């Protein structure tokens, strides 16, 4: 199992000269003919980048490469279309190969969530750097936060 969380006491590996591993969750939609989509592929891929923004750009490029179409046995056109990212996280692992898919899950009935860039996990610290612990805790835990 890969440890994907960085603990506060660990050194920050995001220096300008180091390459970091990231895992991106790509969402690819399948559409048959003109019918509404009923199948989605959630792919986890690893990639290397120096910073979260570069990891995001690389993940989007990998996703767009999933776009393709073909005819099925019934003669209908089957289109696979990249819809966006479900998440993007930095990994602590050092011996992975960039672009390797590490997990895939097909969805039926409901499409998986697609998050805007600002809501991706990799940008959480950036988004919350000026907030207090009290502001970050949910309502039911707020009474226990430091003042």
Q: CB pairs under 8 A, 24+ apart, for 52-58?
A: 52/14, 52/22, 52/88, 52/90, 52/122, 52/123, 52/126, 55/20, 55/22, 55/24, 55/88, 55/90, 55/122, 56/85, 56/88, 56/117, 56/120, 56/122, 58/22, 58/24, 58/98
Predicted TM-score (pTM) of the model is 0.64
pLDDT value at 117 more than 80:
yes
* Per-residue pLDDT, 3: 37
* Per-residue pLDDT, 16: 53
Section 103-123 average pLDDT: 83
Q: In the chain, what are the domain boundaries?
A: 20-116
């Amino acid at each position: 199992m890969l440890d994907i969380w960085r603990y506060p006491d660990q050194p920050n590996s995001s220096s300008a000269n180091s390459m970091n591993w990231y895992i991106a969750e790509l969402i690819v939609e399948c559409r048959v003919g003109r019918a509404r989509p009923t199948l989605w592929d959630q792919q986890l891929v690893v990639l290397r980048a120096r910073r979260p923004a570069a990891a995001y750009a690389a993940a989007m490029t990998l996703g767009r490469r999933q776009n393709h179409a073909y005819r099925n046995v019934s003669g209908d056109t089957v289109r696979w279309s990249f819809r966006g990212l479900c998440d993007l996280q930095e990994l602590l692992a050092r011996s992975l190969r960039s672009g390797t898919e590490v997990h895939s899950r097909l969805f039926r009935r409901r499409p998986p969530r697609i998050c805007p860039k600002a809501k991706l996990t990799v940008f959480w610290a950036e988004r919350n750097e000026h907030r207090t612990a009290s502001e970050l805790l949910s309502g039911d835990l707020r009474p226990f936060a430091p003042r």
